[in-house]
């Protein structure tokens, strides 16, 4: 992505209320692209709230599970600064990893890899198939963004920029991400006479500013909470993803060199990674695993999430879980691997059951709501059958002027093209229309007063 493409992508102003006024990129470009102004810029606190949402959970009685996520979002000019410096750092990063041989190993948050999860999943599965026997390790890091060590992050930033110390503008950005501060959104809502109900939040976000400058100055001391730790960055900021990749520069190099030397494959997607190593003996793999653990332990604050780390053995078209052979206090799992939304059992590739179930759950819930309300939303808007089909079926899967984002079937069609001949992948496209019609008929019968 070049600068023109980046500016085009980020030109629109954001609609959320914050401590400064809403602005477009054009309005602030001269400001955010001037290193002297960035150095002197006074960053506002992030607005923070806890998002509670229901997530599909097949094991639950009602198929849902309540989860929470901490959301932080920056002020308008701050966001543009973070985005712009994230873009610049990504340019340095892309050159660095191309030079050190890890360009194809790091697959998340890259602006120069015109690929998606389907590409990367296929690459991993094809590599497994190319070996008669191999071991696979799927790992996950514990509370990754919350744990990043500030001093080590600064060292990696200096390494990337080829500098003994950070330039003053980069330091200003680094400082305000590591020593970030938060202001609770509920307090801001209350100051404006709002609750945390959706309608009130929407009204709040229509304000030009969250509160007046005078209120900000008088309440800042009592309402702002600062990160006093020497670790952790806010996951939601526009530069945090780039920082996380930079943090792992040494790890990626050490692991990738070792895996390639052993004729294997390594890919990392943020805090998840996969390692595939041709099999010699079980004891030899245990030795390799210990080396991988030692590299993990060498990076400050980075720890493997034991419950999410999985070991598998592939042999002649079958996959076996081998957790108990390698991991301490971790029982064997099921004899198939899930990676980037796909399931592979050694012979067959399919879109992960959880992903498909989530799609049908949302579809069926929407159908039931439409029938129950006669297609009228709470805002008195009409939802037609056409709306349903465009959102959930192949009729809305075409990518064009009217369907730029596509839908789940768009994703399924792409997967089908990549995994040619995999019947389980193709079944979704082949059967979904029949299932929609069948469920619509069922819901109509259930809710009909004459049934």
- pLDDT over 60 at 56, yes or no: no
- Do 144 and 21 fall into the same domain? yes
Rg (CA), the chain: 25
Q: Name, in order, each residue with C-beta under 8 angstroms of 397's C-beta and a sequence gap of 6 or more.
A: 403, 406, 407, 409, 410, 413
Last residue of a domain, one of 347, 379, 397: 347
- pLDDT over 80 at 65, yes or no: no
- Do 405 and 295 fall into the same domain? no
Cα dihedral sign for 322, 324, 327, 330? positive
- Asked, for residue 225, whether it belongs to a domain, the answer is no
Last residue of a domain, one of 309, 330, 347: 347
- Asked, for residue 16, whether it belongs to a domain, the answer is yes
pLDDT band for position 279 (50/70/90)? very high
- Do 340 and 355 fall into the same domain? no
Read off the pLDDT of each residue in 334-355 and give the average, rounded to a whole number.
94
- Asked, for residue 286, whether it belongs to a domain, the answer is yes
Structural domain that includes position 421: 351-447
Measured at the CA of 33, the angle between CA 112 and CA 79, to 5 degrees, comes to 70
pLDDT band for position 402 (50/70/90)? very low
What are the C-alpha distances in Å from 222 to residues 17, 129, 183, 192, 225? Answer: 20, 59, 10, 17, 8
DSSP 3-state of 312: strand
Q: Any idea of the CA torsion for 264, 334, 412, 439, to the nearest 10 degrees?
A: 180
- Do 87 and 15 fall into the same domain? yes
- Asked, for residue 184, whether it belongs to a domain, the answer is no
Q: Give tens-digit pLDDT for 327-336.
A: 988 999 999 9
Last residue of a domain, one of 347, 378, 412: 347
- pLDDT over 90 at 205, yes or no: yes
- Do 33 and 125 fall into the same domain? yes
- Asked, for residue 203, whether it belongs to a domain, the answer is no
- Do 262 and 407 fall into the same domain? no
- pLDDT over 90 at 306, yes or no: no
- pLDDT, residue 19, reads 97
Read off the pLDDT of each residue in 52-70 and give the average, rounded to a whole number.
69
**Proportion of the chain above pLDDT 70, given as a percent:** 92
- pLDDT, residue 144, reads 94
- Do 342 and 357 fall into the same domain? no
Read off the pLDDT of each residue in 220-242 and give the average, rounded to a whole number.
94
- Do 24 and 104 fall into the same domain? yes
Are 233 and 134 within 8 A, CB to CB? no
- Do 330 and 376 fall into the same domain? no
Q: Say how many domains are in the chain.
A: 2
- Do 417 and 299 fall into the same domain? no
- Asked, for residue 96, whether it belongs to a domain, the answer is yes
- Asked, for residue 212, whether it belongs to a domain, the answer is no
Measured at the CA of 129, the angle between CA 103 and CA 98, to 5 degrees, comes to 5
- Do 262 and 343 fall into the same domain? yes
Q: Give tens-digit pLDDT for 262-271.
A: 999 999 999 9
- Do 388 and 266 fall into the same domain? no
Claim: this prediction has a pTM higher than 0.85: yes
- Asked, for residue 102, whether it belongs to a domain, the answer is yes
């Amino acid at each position: 992505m070049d600068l023109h493409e980046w500016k085009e992508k980020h030109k629109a102003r954001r609609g959320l209320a914050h401590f400064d006024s809403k602005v477009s990129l054009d309005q602030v470009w001269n400001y955010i692209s001037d290193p002297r102004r960035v150095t002197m810029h006074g960053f506002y606190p992030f607005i923070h709230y806890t998002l509670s949402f229901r997530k599909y959970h097949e094991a639950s009685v009602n198929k849902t599970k309540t989860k929470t996520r901490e959301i932080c979002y920056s002020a308008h000019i701050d966001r543009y600064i973070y985005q712009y410096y994230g873009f610049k750092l990504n340019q340095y990063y892309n050159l660095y990893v191309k030079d050190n041989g890890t360009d194809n190993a790091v697959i998340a948050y890259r602006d120069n890899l015109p690929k998606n999860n389907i590409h990367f999943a296929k690459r991993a599965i094809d590599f497994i198939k190319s070996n008669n026997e191999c071991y696979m390790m799927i790992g996950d890091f514990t509370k990754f963004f919350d744990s990043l060590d500030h001093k080590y992050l600064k060292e990696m930033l200096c390494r990337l920029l080829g500098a003994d110390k950070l330039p003053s503008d980069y330091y200003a950005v680094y400082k305000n991400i590591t020593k970030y501060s938060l202001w609770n959104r509920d307090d801001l809502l209350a100051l404006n006479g709002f609750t945390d109900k959706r309608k009130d939040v929407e009204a709040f976000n229509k304000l030009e500013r969250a509160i007046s400058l005078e209120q900000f100055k008088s309440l800042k001391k009592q309402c702002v909470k600062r990160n006093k730790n020497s670790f952790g960055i806010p996951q939601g900021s526009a530069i945090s993803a780039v920082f996380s990749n930079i943090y792992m520069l040494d790890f990626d190099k050490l692991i990738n060199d070792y895996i390639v030397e052993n004729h294997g494959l390594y890919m990392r997607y943020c805090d998840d990674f996969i390692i595939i190593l041709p099999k010699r003996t079980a004891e030899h793999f245990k030795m390799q695993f210990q080396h991988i653990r030692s590299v993990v332990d060498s990076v400050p604050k980075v720890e493997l999430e034991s419950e999410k780390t999985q070991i598998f053995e592939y042999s002649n078209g079958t996959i076996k879980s081998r957790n108990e052979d390698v991991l301490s206090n971790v029982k064997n799992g099921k004899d198939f691997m899930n990676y980037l939304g796909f399931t592979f059992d050694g012979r067959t590739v399919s879109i992960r059951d959880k992903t498909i179930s989530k799609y049908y759950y949302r579809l069926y819930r929407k159908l039931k709501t439409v029938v129950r309300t006669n297609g009228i939303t709470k805002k008195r808007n009409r939802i037609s059958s056409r709306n349903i089909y465009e959102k959930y079926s192949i009729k809305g899967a075409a990518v064009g002027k009217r369907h730029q984002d596509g839908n789940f079937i768009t994703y399924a069609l792409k997967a089908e093209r990549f995994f040619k001949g995999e019947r389980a992948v193709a079944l979704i496209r082949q059967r979904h229309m029949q299932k929609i019609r069948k469920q619509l008929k069922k819901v109509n019968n259930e809710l009909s007063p004459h049934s």
